[in-house]
A and B are shown apart, each in its own frame.
Chain A
Amino acid sequence: MQAELIDEARRQIEICNACRYCEGFCSVFPSIHADRAFSDGDITHLANLCHNCRGCYYACQYTAPHQFDLNLPAALAEVRQKSWSDYAWPQPFARLFERNGVVVATCLALATALLFWIAQALRPVSGEGFYAYLSHGVMVSIFAPAFLFPLIAMGVSIRRYWADTVGRPVTFAALKQATKDIAAMKNLSGGHGEGCNFEDEDRYSHARRFAHQLTLWGFLLCFASTSSGTVLHYGFGLEAPYAFFSLPKLLGVPGGLMLCAGTAWLARLKLQADPELGAKAAWGGEMAFVALLFAVSATGLLLYSATGSALVSWLLPLHLGTVLALFLLIPYSKMAHGFYRTAALIGDSVRRC
């Protein structure tokens, strides 16, 4: 971890701890106020607990041009970004965090789409629906490792992160609390329930909270859709394609629509927000990640609507390519935030017990 980033965050946090006016905004401040001295692990924990709601920035009497020059959302965003890169596994891939996200995402999406295009050269002789274009065996042999590898990589990272920031066993109560906080995105509620400051300076709004939850719940529904398909396939011998009134479709179609709408909304908000209050260097990468999520859902919906037409032969590899890119980039993109934030919320409960 770059010492300057941690030291700058510590300087600001110590000023916050002497002030305490922001106590009710989010979980970060009560956590600060419980301590007097802050280790590097404490700072990393606070950085990952921060949801960048910006309430504290606009309320702060010490922001520039004041000589104390406080910008806590940016200071914590910088530490947070660096911590993901430091904890990434395997380390050589961590550099992906530091390069232009747009390039990474686009290249990977195109490359994988191309890969599938080639895979179609091995087009099966028989098969229904998607499997008419790509056999189930080929899909599984590509996606099983592409799904498992990022999970293993994240597992290694979170383990190390936890050791440095909490270092105590998870409790059931902490898990419960964190699940509630995530489900309602409590830390973007502003503490008073009117939302956070993001797209229009000090105006409180739920826009970012709602856009985030549309994205999160949309993503989870899509994930549940895929999982239900897997269970139907292996557990019940029911193979795709599925009818509209089937579990995969009933979960996947609304999920896809939510994910599309949520990511488009997030991207718009991000364009309106002041980049000075975040990790500026990460802006492009974050936007690329939002775009990739949008592409996953949009191509998925297009693919479904094109069922039975010749377009499937184009849309299928494009959709699967974006999904593959998304999976592979999980540990090295903004997607990692979900894992670290969850760990930080659980960790915060554990630390306070």
Chain B
Amino acid sequence: MSPRNTSPDILVIGGGNAALCAAITARETGASVLILEAAPKPYRGGNSRHTRNFRCMHEGPLGVLTGRYSEDEFFDDLIKVTKGKTDETLARMTIGRSEENYAWMASHGVHFQPSLSGTLSLSRTNAFFLGGGKALVNAYYRRAAALGIEVAYEAKVTHVETDGKRVSSVDAEIGEQRVTYTPRAVVVASGGFQANLDWLADAWGPAARNFLIRGTPYNRGVVLKDLLDQDIQSVGDPTQCHAVAIDGRAPKFDGGIVTRLDCVPFSIVVNKNGDRFYDEGEDVWPKRYAIWGRLVAAQPDQVGYAIIDAKSIDKFMPSVFPPVQADTIEGLSQQLGLAGDSLRKTVDAFNAACRPGEFHPTELDGLATEGLTPPKTNWARPITEAPFYGYELRPGVTFTYLGLRVDQTAQVQGPEKPVENLWAAGEIMAGSILGQGYLAGFGMTIGTVFGRIAGQEASAYAS
């Protein structure tokens, strides 16, 4: 590892979308910039490498975005998912600035594509990245290199020294080497702590050790914890994480998009005792997948099993692992390792409660069970046609809510006043705006808007 400038104007901690937006913006206004990315090069980009779009307001058709998506509609959507847990000023500013970022992203090498097959519902609200988030990250690293931004990979920041008013130095380990940096300003964009299972278990309980982490294993919250320990102000519920139900056979980390399972609305979901525990047909899947993470997390061993029959196997997006398959319910039950004849009884009770009616897979069809607890209120068709299929479900954590409090200039708030030379962007401050729930593509919007603000502000301070 070649010696680097240990006193850059701006030190950016993190290597994902927000970090890169900050670094590029700062460099373009003349500052010298060094990026410390904890991951090795093939895994650079944090959770941004798993993303696929960003949510963007627009007054008329904009690039690949169709129709109009106004600030108010965007804000209403945010209120629905967060149940009001948001900072309205910051949220409206983020939404308002999203539109100008479309052009900025395109001019910095990001390519967009029309919404993907199977995601038509997002064509008006979300601009998809051609090739996904890793292609976006690659484009930004290319731009960063062209601008003369230095990047250190496998550079783990261990400590940010602050007296609550000012950051004086930053300690990092780059491979075997320990380096102390004394930058003029610091942008921290190092994500949440969702890959830190110990911390998750402290916050959520021991069950969290059975959770799968959908994104990067490098978001361990080291810098976040270090700053919170120095009385920097926090936002967001420290005990909560955003978890969705994903394929239980997914890798522990980094499974990304392909591990999602969209079969729940057409299935019955049982726990390891073979019992149902929630209405699988409550609403369309995009509006329900997030609550299923928590539902499964509350079951014994944090596992569930979605059971469908031959009628439904082609009604949802294909996923990465083939389902467990059997010609009888008993055979399926045995292969899934469910207790005794419990699945048989649950399926029989469910089938008996199904009523005739029109089945419409793409809309709420009101095809509901009668006299069953819990009920299934839509898409309830008896599970009768062999072969039968089963998918194991587990909670997959996407991000955590706890973060650093920032103001409109992305400046981090110390115990009494803003920290003079510290700004934050991306997941590490997103809890200010997303206090609960999630809105598809909004993480990238927050990262881009706050990354650019942080870069600008830090650069202005450093000069």
Contact = CB atoms under 8 A, between A and B. Distances in A.
B285 to A, nearest CB: 15
A157 B49 CA distance: 42
A18 B131 contact: no
A21 B320 contact: no
A30 B256 contact: no
A203 B42 CA distance: 16
Contact of B320 (A18, A36, A190): A18
Interface string B179-201: 00000000000000000000000
A191 interface: yes
B254 interface: yes
Q: Please indicate which of the listed interface residues B119, B251, B257 has the most CB atoms of chain A within 10 Å of its own CB.
A: B257
Contacts of A56: 131
A20 B142 contact: no
A198 to B, nearest CB: 15
Interface size of B as a range: 20 to 34
A33 B130 contact: no
Interface in A37-84: 55-56, 58-68
A275 B50 CA distance: 26
A63 B42 contact: yes
A22 interface: yes
A60 B43 CA distance: 11
Interface in A293-350: none
Interface string B119-135: 10000000001111111
A20 B138 contact: no
A168 interface: no
B117 A21 contact: no
Interface stretch (B15-23, B108-116, B286-294): B108-116
A349 B108 CA distance: 34
Contact of A192 (B42, B130, B258, B317): B130
A21 B318 contact: no
Contacts of B319: 18
Interface string B50-63: 10100000000000
Contacts of A33: 116-118
Given A14-B318, A202-B142, A61 B117 contact: no
A65 B113 CA distance: 27
B142 A203 contact: yes
Interface size of A as a range: 20 to 34
A18 B316 CA distance: 11
A202 B314 CA distance: 35
A22 B318 contact: no
Q: Please indicate which of the listed interface residues A59, A65, A68 has the most CB atoms of chain B within 10 Å of its own CB.
A: A59
Interface string A188-229: 001110100000001100000000000000000000000000
A33 B119 CA distance: 12
Contacts of A25: 130-131
Contact of B258 (A15, A34, A190, A203): A15
B130 to A, nearest CB: 5
A350 B134 CA distance: 33
A260 B231 CA distance: 69
Contacts of A67: 251
B138 A58 contact: yes
A24 interface: yes
Q: Please indicate which of the listed interface residues A61, A191, A192 has the most CB atoms of chain B within 10 Å of its own CB.
A: A61
B248 to A, nearest CB: 15
A79 B452 CA distance: 45
Contacts of B111: 24, 190-192, 194
A59 B134 contact: yes
Given A19-B257, A23-B117, A33-B117, A61 B314 contact: no
A18 B263 CA distance: 13
A17 interface: yes
B113 A61 contact: no
A61 B50 contact: yes
B114 A24 contact: yes
A21 B257 contact: yes
Contacts of A68: 258, 320
Given A24-B130, A67-B251, A36 B257 contact: no
Interface string A1-31: 0000000000000110111111111000010
B138 A36 contact: no
B138 A202 contact: yes
B117 A30 contact: yes
B110 to A, nearest CB: 10
A69 B410 CA distance: 38
Interface in B94-117: 111, 113-114, 116-117
Contacts of A17: 318
Contacts of B138: 58-59, 202
B42 A55 contact: no
A18 to B, nearest CB: 4
A15 to B, nearest CB: 5
B393 to A, nearest CB: 16
Contacts of A14: 318, 320
Interface string B126-153: 0001111111001100100000000000
A55 B314 CA distance: 29
A23 B113 CA distance: 8
B279 to A, nearest CB: 26
A20 B131 contact: no
A21 B314 contact: no
Given A14-B320, A15-B320, A59-B135, A20 B117 contact: yes
A191 B257 contact: no
A191 B129 CA distance: 12
Contacts of B139: 202
A236 to B, nearest CB: 52
6 contacts: A19-B257, A21-B135, A23-B116, A190-B111, A194-B111, A202-B138
Given A59-B138, A61-B134, 9 more contacts: A15-B258, A19-B258, A21-B52, A33-B117, A55-B131, A61-B49, A61-B256, A62-B258, A202-B142
Task: Give the 5 A-B CB pairs with smallest separation, nearest first.
Answer: A59-B131, A21-B132, A24-B113, A59-B135, A18-B258
Interface of B: 42-43, 49-50, 52, 111, 113-114, 116-119, 129-135, 138-139, 142, 251, 254, 256-258, 260, 314, 317-320
Interface of A: 14-15, 17-25, 30, 33-34, 36, 55-56, 58-68, 190-192, 194, 202-203
